Amino acid sequence: MLSARRWLGRLRAPRVEPVEWSRSLKVRFREASAAERDGFLAAGYQARHFFPHRWYALQKCGPDGARLAQGMSGVREPGRLWQLLLYATSPAIDEFPDQLFFDPELNWHQQHSNRRGLAASVSVAVDGDTAYTAAHQSDLVQRISRHRTFKTRVERVFQGWHRLLLNAIAGFAADQGLHRVLVPSAQLAMTHTDQSRTVQPELFERVYDRAVRHQFAVTPDRGWWRIELKRNRGALAPTTRRQELIESPRTLCLAHDIERGLGHRDVEPEFAREADREAPAALDRMLEIERRAGVRCTYDVVGTLLEEVRARIERDGHCLAFHSYDHGPGEQLQACRRVDYRIKGYRPPRSVLTPELSDSALCWHNFEWLASSEYSLGSRVPRLVNRVVRIPILLDDFSMHRDGVSFDEWAGQAIRLLKEREFMVLSLHDCYGKHWLPGYERFLTDLKQLACLRTLDEVAADLFLASAA
């Protein structure tokens, strides 16, 4: 049964602040530079645990954030969920190569937001005047054995990541005017960890039990460590509030729907058979042209085709997203997740927003962005609403197939629209490749002169950063 305090807290409307893309986005964060080390020592931190860092509080669920919040604290609304990202800064990261922070096998959760230095993250659920945390993790430190050349140095420099993360959590709660933070005990955290993983109790105890009890005056509370902020005011190390700008030029995103004949089998079976034969070669051709042009695109791939094509797509640094599981009826999100657990984006077939694609369901299944037609989303630019980035697609190539529009006519329309807009997404299908591939290289040359080409993952990451409290 909920206490009166928690029941009243849940009557408060979740904090939902839409963030809209623009060419200049303001990003807020807190920072502890090397010069602020003494403030951490005064608050009880040991010198070996400190490294210069900054942290961002994003309007984002974080990996499994929705599942953990519901299962551990009972918070269901996406608008109550946050993710804190803690980045190490210079000089702590100067000796390490970029590869260390962007390698997808090391940075498994891929939450770096296109920035160097991600050291740790945590999911936070806010309920009334209380913040509940889950999934305190550092891919950088916990998976560094995959880069043994840097293992000793990384473990030495960033050994205090979980302690600095606790300070960021308490700082976030104080900034939000909350009264307390509840951190799970090691036992509670292990109970809600994926049971297919090998759980190391000593690691959980170090991260969830020892650090919080060392730094704060805590009270056990039904499997949680309760930190009353008023009582622990002296244990909160000071950080400086800062802001920066993300400046973007005119932006264009090219998205490819990789579906072969799946979208036509029920209406044009002969064309579907033709597409099944020709689309694989069309994929190779578009990748070759983009490689020569030096551009990266977003490939929305039907889940049943993903394992067959992903190596070719990822080799050139393109972004992968799902274009449903099988381009058919029925539930798609869970089926997609059985194919791949980390892909961030979802593009529904024919831009049909089915009831399955609710904010709660997308967050539950760890989708960070949804790309669909401008008409279906009701927006001309990307918007972050309720922890999901919605990215509108202005123009696709269906008119070349359905209406016989020539590629030159279609490309001319795209160029005119791009000159009128600051942001635009174009969608091209593998199954219609015969219409546009002959002129694609020239088209890319024209586009590159007018706009900066980016992936939908990159656009979504900027909006999440701009949502920082």
Q: How does DSSP assign 245-285, residue by residue?
A: EEE--SEEEEEEEE-TTTTTTTT-HHHHHHHHHHHHHHHHH
CA 227 → CA 174, 209, 452, distances in Å? 12, 13, 46
* Cβ partners under 8 Å of residue 184, min gap 6: 72, 133, 134, 192, 208, 223, 224, 225
> d(Cα 76, Cα 68) in Å, to the nearest integer?
10
Residue 12 has pLDDT above 80, yes or no: no
Contact in structure between 153 and 36 (CB atoms under 8 Å): no
25-35 confidence digits (pLDDT tens): 999 999 999 99
Sign of CA dihedral 443, 427, 18, 174: negative
Q: Which amino acid is at 371?
A: A
Q: What pLDDT band is residue 16 in, cutting at 50, 70 and 90?
A: low
> d(Cα 240, Cα 79) in Å, to the nearest integer?
26
Query: In this predicted structure, what is the pLDDT of residue 4?
Result: 47
328 backbone dihedrals φ, ψ, rounded to 5°? -120, -170
Alpha helix positions (H), 355-453: 359-364, 374-377, 398-402, 407-420, 433-436, 440-450
CB neighbour burial string for 242-279, b if at least 16 within 10 angstroms, e if fewer: eeeebebeebbbbbbbbbbbbbbbeeeeebbebbeebb
Domains in the chain, ordered, with CATH? Answer: 4-245 (no CATH), 250-466 (3.20.20.370)
* DSSP designation for 396: E
Query: In this predicted structure, what is the pLDDT of residue 275?
Result: 97
Contact in structure between 167 and 216 (CB atoms under 8 Å): no
312, burial (CB in 10 Å: exposed 0-12, middle 13-18, buried 19+): middle
CA 200 → CA 168, 263, 355, 467, distances in Å? 25, 46, 40, 34
> d(Cα 388, Cα 60) in Å, to the nearest integer?
8
Query: In this predicted structure, what is the pLDDT of residue 224?
Result: 98
CA 278 → CA 260, 307, 352, 402, 434, distances in Å? 8, 18, 26, 18, 9
Q: Kindly state the average pLDDT of the residues 104-124.
A: 96
Q: What pLDDT band is residue 11 in, cutting at 50, 70 and 90?
A: very low
Query: In this predicted structure, what is the pLDDT of residue 234?
Result: 95
> d(Cα 105, Cα 131) in Å, to the nearest integer?
31
Average per-residue pLDDT in the chain?
95
122: helix, coil or strand?
A: strand
Q: Which amino acid is at 164?
A: L
* Cβ partners under 8 Å of residue 273, min gap 6: 261
Q: What pLDDT band is residue 201 in, cutting at 50, 70 and 90?
A: confident
% of the chain surpassing 70 pLDDT: 95
> d(Cα 222, Cα 220) in Å, to the nearest integer?
7
Q: What pLDDT band is residue 200 in, cutting at 50, 70 and 90?
A: confident
Beta-bridge partners for 369: 345, 389
423-458 confidence digits (pLDDT tens): 999 999 999 999 999 999 999 999 999 999 999 999
Residue 5 has pLDDT above 90, yes or no: no
Beta-bridge partners for 247: 24
Contact in structure between 84 and 58 (CB atoms under 8 Å): yes
Q: Kindly state the average pLDDT of the residues 407-416.
A: 98
Taking alpha carbons only, the member of 74, 80, 48 closest to residue 61 is 80
Query: In this predicted structure, what is the pLDDT of residue 60?
Result: 98
> d(Cα 263, Cα 275) in Å, to the nearest integer?
10
> d(Cα 153, Cα 174) in Å, to the nearest integer?
33
Residue 13 has pLDDT above 80, yes or no: no
Q: Kindly state the average pLDDT of the residues 385-398.
A: 98
CA 7 → CA 2, 75, 126, 180, 424, distances in Å? 6, 12, 13, 16, 44
Q: 8 is written with which tokens?
A: 């009243």
pTM: 0.95
Residue 315 has pLDDT above 50, yes or no: yes
